[in-house]
């Protein structure tokens, strides 16, 4: 485990209905941070690197990692218990495709018994509803022609068909913006919005080996202005905070999250650091921007998250 993580020696136990009562939790955390307690409360967990798809830009899933060893159910349960005891409150379980783990229902039961909030990040093409996390995120690359060109023919329809069967679990769509889709934000929202609770957007990270789809800073600005305009129109439920859309630069607080590799290695750097040295100057990762805006106690960021997602948890 990384020695640089400043674990909480007396973790504050958030209420089990974390979503509805998250404002007092964030306020208390911010106060404790000001007083010097820099402990993380969020964990991005790569449960597996296996995936049923082979998306064009994905740095996580390649042919060789499919044969990597995986941790057993008991090993993951021990890691979740350890994280909970050290003050982590939210687990984001991702991959690869985490729903390929047949023990995921048991792992979620264990996490919930520890009082943790769970979010499962899926491509939405397997049947996700057999598992019951607190919330899901699903990847959407754009309208059908774009989504299928990245993920393979038929996968957009498969995703929508699955979303139509949702028994009522909050779902956030996540779209990684790049050259192929940044002009199609409105079309993407029209296609997916009726079936998801809220839509979030992020920008493709410039992983060193995969830069052909990267947006220029000017194109990133155009996409951010489009999102601001659409938020203002109130036609869609958009997760990105205004502060993240208005400003080119931002302060990242990677300390508030740890990342856990598919081999159970816990590190203090953001998940980019699991692959290569993070390039913070070029980074527009929406999830860290949102967490950092919440941590800075930007009221609009918190209120936006609350009204679109947390109140449904």
Shortest Cβ 202–ligand SF4 spacing (Å): 10
Nearer to ligand SF4, 14 or 178 (CB): 178
Pairwise CA distance, residues 256 & 60, whole Å: 22
Q: Cα dist. 173→36, 80, 159, 268 in Å? A: 35, 25, 11, 26
Shortest Cβ 152–ligand SF4 spacing (Å): 9
Shortest Cβ 243–ligand SF4 spacing (Å): 15
Shortest Cβ 52–ligand SF4 spacing (Å): 7
Nearer to ligand SF4, 40 or 254 (CB): 254
Nearer to ligand SF4, 56 or 193 (CB): 56
Nearer to ligand SF4, 11 or 206 (CB): 206
What burial class does residue 187 get, using C-beta atoms within 10 Å of its C-beta: 0-12 exposed, 13-18 middle, 19+ buried?
middle
DSSP string for residues in 51-104: -S---TT-SS--TGGGGS----HHHHHHHHHHHHHTT--EEEEESS-GGG-TTH
- The token duo for 276 is 């290569």
Shortest Cβ 223–ligand SF4 spacing (Å): 17
DSSP string for residues in 223-237: HHHHHHHHHHHTSS-
Cα distance from N-terminal residue to C-terminal residue, the chain: 31
Q: Is the peptide bond before 56 cis (omega within 30 degrees of 0)?
A: no
Nearer to ligand SF4, 14 or 122 (CB): 122
Q: If you search the block for the tokens 């990762």, which residue do you land on?
A: 285
Q: Cα dist. 128→120, 204, 267, 312 in Å? A: 9, 25, 28, 18
Shortest Cβ 68–ligand SF4 spacing (Å): 13
Closest among 105, 106, 192 to 142, alpha carbons compared: 192
Nearer to ligand SF4, 259 or 304 (CB): 259
Nearer to ligand SF4, 14 or 139 (CB): 139
Residues 290/226, Cβ–Cβ less than 8 Å: no
Which residues here bind ligand SF4, judged by CB under 6 A?
51, 53-55, 58, 60-61, 95-97, 123, 139, 252, 254, 270, 272, 278, 280, 283, 285, 288
Shortest Cβ 48–ligand SF4 spacing (Å): 9
């Amino acid at each position: 485990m990384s020695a640089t993580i400043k674990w909480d020696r007396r973790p504050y136990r958030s209420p089990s209905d974390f979503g509805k009562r998250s404002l007092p939790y964030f306020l208390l955390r911010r106060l404790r941070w000001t007083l010097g307690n820099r402990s993380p409360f969020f964990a991005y967990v790569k449960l597996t690197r296996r995936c049923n798809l082979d998306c064009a830009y994905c740095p996580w899933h390649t042919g060789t990692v499919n044969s990597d060893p995986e941790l057993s159910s008991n090993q993951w349960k021990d890691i979740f218990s350890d994280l909970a005891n050290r003050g982590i409150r939210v687990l984001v379980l991702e991959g690869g495709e985490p729903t390929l783990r047949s023990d995921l229902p048991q792992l979620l039961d264990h996490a919930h018994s520890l009082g943790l909030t769970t979010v499962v990040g899926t491509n939405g093409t397997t049947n996700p509803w057999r598992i019951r996390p607190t919330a899901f995120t699903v990847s959407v690359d754009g309208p059908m022609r774009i989504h299928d060109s990245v993920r393979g023919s038929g996968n957009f329809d498969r995703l929508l068909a699955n979303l139509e069967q949702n028994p009522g679990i909050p779902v956030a769509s996540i779209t990684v913006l790049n050259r192929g889709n940044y002009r199609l934000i409105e079309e993407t929202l029209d296609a997916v919005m009726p079936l998801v609770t809220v839509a979030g957007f992020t920008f493709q990270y410039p992983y060193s080996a995969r830069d052909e789809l990267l947006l220029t800073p000017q194109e990133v600005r155009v996409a951010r202005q489009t999102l601001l305009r659409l938020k203002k129109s109130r036609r869609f439920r958009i997760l990105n905070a205004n502060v993240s859309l208005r400003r080119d630069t931002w302060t990242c607080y990677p300390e508030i999250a740890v990342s856990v590799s598919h081999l159970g290695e816990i590190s203090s750097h953001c998940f980019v650091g699991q692959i290569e040295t993070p390039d913070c100057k070029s980074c527009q990762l929406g999830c860290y921007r949102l967490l950092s805006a919440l941590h800075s106690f930007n009221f609009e960021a918190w209120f936006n998250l609350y009204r679109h997602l947390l109140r449904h948890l």
